[in-house]
Amino acid sequence: MFQIEGLTAGYGQATILREVSLQAAPGEITVLMGRNGAGKTTLMKAIMGLVRAEAGQVRLDGTDLAALPPHQVPGHGVGYVPQGRRLFSELTVAQNIEIGLGAGPKEASKRRETRDEMLELFPRLGERMGQRAGTLSGGEQQMLATARALCLRPKLLLLDEPTEGLQPSMIEAIRQVMVQMRDRGLAVLLVEQRIDAVLELADRISVIEMGRNAEDFTKPEIAPGEARLRAHLGV
Ligand SMILES: Nc1ncnc2c1ncn2[C@@H]1O[C@H](COP(=O)(O)OP(=O)(O)OP(=O)(O)O)[C@@H](O)[C@H]1O
């Protein structure tokens, strides 16, 4: 179970998140929503330790991630696909995957198995192993960034607006991977702005407003709560 309790965090003097609480269960897609500037990306960064917690806890199966140095957070089971993807654009697809594998299983057979699994999940990447990441389409880059994060075999997968700016067929491919990961028992925490994209996908929605919890919706509350959700987001 992944649980954030009373998290207060920000940048230097600027406190952005105030006493935020959030849960993401294994086998569920939890969607974090909020208007521009509400603090969604900051929350993702705080989970990764890239933004320091001033107060509160960030727990994954009993480990307090907020107490760890940032480089140890992935090793405790958190895969992060940041907004903008942050690939090594001069390196090839294969090299980017190798880097992901470097943080994953140590034995050669396990690494091969993980790599093969990624290529099964994203067959388009298999056709482009020698291509430089910077020359991939936006959707392919998103696939590569997701594959790289999954090489760690995370328990929690963080995706920050993964389908932003992608064409419909790519959006569908990314959506299917999220569903597969959920069905394999990962806790998926997704930042998404578009209500239409999450009404069916989400098992739970947490809305934040100006860095604070606004409202949570469980699966049965989502469809009846659509108008309130739209009001929160101003759409
Ligand atoms: N490095 C930084 N230093 C200072 N303030 C920052 C920094 N990064 C973000 N902020 C501020 O933190 C607030 C929350 O930003 P954040 O990117 O977390 O919002 P968001 O909900 O992800 O927004 P969007 O939907 O536009 O991506 C904003 O007011 C932003 O200006």
- What is the CATH classification number for the domain harbouring 35? 3.40.50.300
Ligand 1 within 6 A of CB of 208: no
Q: Is-above-0.90 flag for pTM?
A: yes
Residue found by looking up tokens 């992944």 in the block: 2
Q: What is the pLDDT of residues 37-64, one digit of tens each?
A: 999 999 999 999 999 999 999 999 989 9
Q: Are residues 141 and 46 in the same domain?
A: no
Q: Are residues 57 and 170 in the same domain?
A: yes
Which range of residues forms the domain containing residue 143? Answer: 89-153
Q: Are residues 166 and 64 in the same domain?
A: yes
Tally of domains in the chain = 2
With a cut of 0.85, is the ipTM above it? yes
Judge contact between 97 and 111, C-beta under 8 A.
Answer: no
Q: What is the pLDDT of residues 93-116, one digit of tens each?
A: 999 999 888 866 678 888 889 999
Q: Are residues 215 and 127 in the same domain?
A: no
Report the residue among 36, 42, 210 best suited for mutation to probe ligand 1: largest number of ligand atoms under 8 A from its CB.
42
CA 98-147-10 angle, to 5 degrees, is 100
